[in-house]
Amino acid sequence: MKGATVEASVLFVDIRGFAALSENKTPEVIVDLLNDYLTRVTDSVIKHGGHVNKFVGDEAMAVFGAPVANPHHAQAAVRAALEIQDEMAELNRQKKMTGMKIGVGVGINSGEMLWRKPGFPEENGIHGHRDNVNIASRLTKLAKRARS
């Protein structure tokens, strides 16, 4: 298997209190919310030159600076995170009639990471190198709910 060490930024974002939020909602309402949320996250990441690496439930992981090098990957990740929070505020305004309001936690970290080219089963995308991916994930868990 081949991979390359790259200088990149990784961004994680997830919905705070998603289990409680979805308790008394129909599956159709939850799927609609998730689709809207994940579409907005994806659009913001792509707009700022990032790549969505994966989704796990309501969590998204995005990479800036790989597979295409970008010397401004950290700034791009921060801009995407700020736009995601603006998008969540807009989503909350649109969902006001349903009584649903979401907040998100975001974590970003930059540094050396291992990029494995797509095509390796279960192993494509960015991976931790010197814990840089894990730090971003931990920051997301510690992040306070973004208010909108």
> Which carries the bigger pLDDT value, residue 141 or residue 87?
87
Could you tell me if residue 22 is inside a domain? yes
Could you tell me if residue 71 is inside a domain? yes
Query: What is the total count of domains within the chain?
Result: 1
pLDDT tens sequence across 56-110: 889 999 999 988 899 999 999 999 999 999 999 999 998 776 777 889 999 999 9
What is the C-alpha radius of gyration for the chain, rounded to an integer number of angstroms?
16
* 29: CB partners within 8 A, 6+ apart: 98, 100
Could you tell me if residue 104 is inside a domain? yes
pLDDT tens sequence across 34-55: 999 999 999 999 999 999 988 9
CATH of the domain at 102: 3.30.70.1230
Q: Quick one: 14 exposed, middle or buried, by C-beta within 10 A (0-12, 13-18, 19+)?
A: buried
Could you tell me if residue 40 is inside a domain? yes
First CA to last CA across the chain, in angstroms?
44
Could you tell me if residue 148 is inside a domain? no
